[in-house]
Chain A
Amino acid sequence: MTSAHPIPLLQAHGLSFLRADEPVFGPLDFVLHTGEIALVEGDNGSGKTTLLRLLAGLLHVGEGELRWRGKGWNRDERAGEVLFLGHQLGLKMDMSPRENLRVAAGLHGQREGCGTSSVLVDVGLAGYEDEPVRRLSAGQKKRAALARLLLLPAVLWLLDEPYANLDRAGIALVNRLLEAHVAEGGAALVTTHGAVSFHGGEPKRIRMHG
């Protein structure tokens, strides 16, 4: 872990989000460096998803302060550096995983040396590349969405319940993706209920107290 890194990727001070003047979570304080994974833990309704949507830039900062690479929190600063995977997978049901990936790559660009075919094989969708997403199982849909993580360039991954709907091999796949991402100098925030095990040491924990 690179905790001696001079400028953290993400810094939160007294961060909270208000909905109709009621705080949904927080105040939260945490720091995330590149090369780190943080698990966001909390009960149902404690605001885990809200926190991730806020960090993705979909929600505005209620109270407190957020810093990106030591600078202010504005959209242009983070453009193309954050990838968000929420409950809604952002897949078009009438299109195949390959076509969905092509659209995503068209919007975000793609990593050097990655192709849609190889990425889909990596997430275990070999043979289903051209099947409409509508016909895939819930776990396979999730895998099709996870393929985006491999293909698109980004530093920070925000994964909301990435383990939901996945079988044992799928859970191992998510862990493998996270480990590889962190090894390359990426960072990730992951919400989860289940126990997670990484080879790369104990992840950071952010506790939500709703």
Chain B
Amino acid sequence: MNQASVSHACAAVLRRDLTLAWRRRGDIAMPVLYALIVATLFPFALGPEDALLQRIAGGVVLVTVLLAMLLALDAMFRSDIEDGSLEQLVLAPQPLALMLGMKILAHWLTTALPLIVIAPLLAGMLHLPMAVMGVLLLALLLATPMLSLLGAMLVALTAGTRRSGMLLALMLLPLCVPVVIFAAGAVAAAQQGLPWIAPIAWLGAALALALVLAPLACATALRIALDA
């Protein structure tokens, strides 16, 4: 008999989740479509005034991307709980937090990454200056994994309850606020020619913390959810 190594197990979980996401490509396209529609509607609602759009572009793109991510968050562990895969994952002789970390990574790759890819397009539609685009992307690269990690933690906490969508949204709101403030703050500072590194550094620090703690919290929460 040979035991599976941790790296093999990580690869297996990551590959499985990416394969499943690819087989349901329509689900990946949904948040992207949503973000496109929202960003397209803003100029229609506010009028095609360059100065106004330029001022709100950074914030609109950030909020749109984060909201689009929420659409897919709810489903992170749902199918695994329904078909018993989660039980098998919990019972596997592997560190559960690391396995869940892989699941969160797969989730980020399939929902957040496509959104980051179209973010320059959305920002361009709202006339965000090209010089600020880099800061916007950097802010998104730090804010989206943060949201994936925080979201996964809350999804795990509400996993035992039915109709958890509402509860999830309520719990996520206060955690989202600082992420949006720092990310939008960086973009706004860059737009005004001010130093923007401080809010980005704060986001990075928070991400480092969440990267370590959120999978552990997820693992504990899911064990509790199954133990009922």
- CB within 8 A of B12: which of A19, A60, A89, A102? A102
Are A107 and B11 in contact, with the CB atoms below 8 A?
A: no
Are A56 and B91 in contact, with the CB atoms below 8 A?
A: yes
Interface size on A, residues (CB 8 A): 34
Are A106 and B1 in contact, with the CB atoms below 8 A?
A: no
The reply on A94 being an interface residue by CB < 8 A is: yes
Which one of A31-39, A77-85, A119-127, A191-199 is at the interface?
A77-85
Q: How far is the CB of B75 from chain A (nearest CB, A)?
A: 13
List A contacts of B83 (CB < 8 A): 88-93
Are A79 and B93 in contact, with the CB atoms below 8 A?
A: yes
Contacts known (A58-B91, A88-B82, A107-B13); A94 close to B1, Cβ less than 8 A: no
- Bound-complex Cα distance A94 to B25 (A): 12
Q: How far is the CB of B14 from chain A (nearest CB, A)?
A: 10
Give the residue name and chain of the A residue nearest to B22 (CB). A94
Q: Which of B28-81 contact A (CB under 8 A)?
A: none
Are B87 and A90 in contact, with the CB atoms below 8 A?
A: yes
Most chain A CB inside 10 Å of its own CB: which residue of B24, B99, B228: B228
Contacts known (A57-B91, A79-B93); A109 close to B16, Cβ less than 8 A: no
- CB within 8 A of B4: which of A60, A89, A92, A105? A105
Q: Which residues of B contact A (CB under 8 A)?
A: 1-4, 8-9, 11-13, 15-16, 19-20, 23-24, 82-85, 87-94, 99, 226-228
Q: Which residues of A contact B (CB under 8 A)?
A: 19, 56-60, 79-80, 82-84, 86-95, 99, 102-112, 153
19 A-B pairs whose Cβ atoms sit less than 8 Å apart in the complex:
A84-B87, A87-B84, A88-B84, A89-B83, A89-B84, A90-B88, A94-B23, A94-B24, A99-B19, A103-B12, A103-B16, A104-B88, A107-B92, A107-B93, A107-B99, A108-B92, A109-B3, A110-B2, A111-B1
